[in-house]
Amino acid sequence: MNNNKFLKHFTIIGAGTAINLLVGLFTTPLITRLVDPVEYGQYSIFTMYSSIAVMVLCMGLDQALVRFYYEKDDLSYKRALLFKCVRIPLILSVIATIIITICAYSNLINFEFPALIMVLLCVYSFAELVYRFSLLIVRLEYKSKLYSVLNVIKKVAYVCVALFFLVIVKGDDLLILSVSILVATSLCVIISMIMQAKMWNIFQNRESDCSIEYKTILTYAYPYVITMGVTTLFQAIDKIALNMYCTYTEVGIYSSTMTLVHIFAIIQTTFNTLWSPMAVEHYTKNPEDKKFYQKGNQIITVVMFFLGISLILVKDVFAVLLGEKYREAAYILPFLIFNPIMYTISETTVTGLVFKKKSKVQVIVALGACLTNIIGNNILVPVLKCQGAAISTGISYIVFFSLRTYLSNKYFPVDFKLKKFYLLTFVVSLYALYNTFVIFNIGSVLGYMVCLLLLGILYKDTICWGIKYIINFISQKNSDTRQR
């Protein structure tokens, strides 16, 4: 994919993500004012359990779909590969739903939520499972407009249904939020499958069209069962620790802070959506070209760190939007920025493990980060509560990046200029630590300027290239417009 085509897809997906972000910024304060922090905390646990279920049920077959998708440029092959990958997860999901429903209504197991909420959790997880594969096909086919539209529809549908029931109908807030997200996801599943009817046409599917043996697919995929399970635990351990040591109120405040971190969504979601399939496709065609990955790494490093330190600077402004009950969010936010920063940048450095099919090594990454987060949360949460969870999570994501990068470079060496990266990470960590315990003051501004100056010095060439590229791109577009 050439630069102009990539920028076109990036702009389209970025626009959709920006709309999502704006909807979230305007509507999240409304919802947090209508919903008690305790109920919001329960809802965040509900969605967390669903994420864990989907990760485990996928069995890594979503990753296998990405890895083998470009082996042949043929619809029948891709369709057969899709059904090979989606079959087992769907069967397991149905079985799990039946078992949990029976246990919930017969009181065989004392679940955290009422029986109705448990059934909704199962149905929602099934819908999310189908949506994951459907949206993955959209990504792999570079259908940027459809991807953006689906994301906007899901967000708007959730907000509309939630606000309608919260304001007009009223009742159990957890039930309302759970039904709202289920309706929104189901709607997107239907739309995405209709728009990709040829790919999802089970009557035209022939398993023989996919020459890759099921054993090969499972051999690549099964380590991701462990990896994804541990990774999901790693990503959820902060909420679990808060749920253990604190109350639903702290969980609700912490979860609301994550909505502020979603300012990164424009870049993070857009980049991650395009990078994975593009990197695999590029390696398939040009296995020796490593400059492509170096360039992608340097560019996304500049963008993510600039957004991160800027968000820390204005943390108190965003926290005000959530309402008085959630004001503590301002002190939780600084270290949470390392979640999107480290994850997104590591997507460019972990490619060696994907290219060389070293899926088993991913388990080491997940275990290392997870153990770091478990130890950190158990030490810090009892003392610092939400701030402790944020600090532990931020440090764990730095470990996550380091393990991904080190292990990937063992199999596919790429010079990512890591010395300057870690210098920048250290300075930004100090800035985040300072802002975790103080309200906005002159020190926040001075620290921001130091971080910005260091970013400019270390990544001067990348910043200059980016500015020139944008200027040339705009000039080219203006020239094309005049010619028309």
259 and 152 within one domain: no
The confidence score (pLDDT) of residue 467 equals 85
Give the pair of three-digit tokens for residue 249.
């109120």
pLDDT of 282 > 60? The answer is: yes
270 and 130 within one domain: no
Phi, psi of 447 (to 5 degrees): -65, -40
The helix/strand/coil state of 459 is coil
237 and 198 within one domain: no
Answer yes or no: is 11 within a domain: no
203 and 267 within one domain: no
Residue percentage of the chain with pLDDT more than 70: 91
102 and 40 within one domain: yes
Answer yes or no: is 300 within a domain: yes
User: What is the domain range of residue 448?
Assistant: 223-476
200 and 101 within one domain: yes
* Rounded alpha-carbon distances, angstroms, from residue 311 to 57, 65, 223: 35, 35, 36
300 and 171 within one domain: no
Find all residues with CB under 8 Å of 146, minimum gap 6, and list them: 138, 192, 195
299 and 410 within one domain: yes
The DSSP symbol for 200 reads T
Answer yes or no: is 12 within a domain: no
Domain tally, the chain? 2
pLDDT of 406 > 90? The answer is: yes
80 and 154 within one domain: yes
Strands (DSSP E) contained in 248-386 are none
Q: Could you please report the per-residue DSSP string of 140-181?
A: HTT-HHHHHHHHHHHHHHHHHHHHHIIIII---HHHHHHHHH
467 and 394 within one domain: yes
Query: How many CA atoms, within 13 angstroms, populate the side-chain half-sphere of residue 283?
Result: 21
The DSSP symbol for 350 reads S
> What is the rounded CA–CA span in Å between residue 202 and residue 209?
13
Helix or strand run (H / E) with residue 461: helix 460-483
Answer yes or no: is 132 within a domain: yes
Q: What is the pLDDT of residues 237-271, one digit of tens each?
A: 888 888 888 777 777 778 777 766 766 666 777 77
Answer whether 0.85 is exceeded by the pTM: no
Answer yes or no: is 284 within a domain: yes
233 and 160 within one domain: no
Q: Mean per-residue pLDDT for 414-441?
A: 93
Answer yes or no: is 14 within a domain: no
427 and 317 within one domain: yes
Answer yes or no: is 450 within a domain: yes
> What is the rounded CA–CA span in Å between residue 46 and residue 389?
19
Pick 48 or 447 by higher pLDDT: 447
Q: What is the pLDDT of residues 359-379, one digit of tens each?
A: 888 889 989 999 999 999 999
Answer yes or no: is 20 within a domain: no
Out of 212, 245, 276, a domain closes at: 212
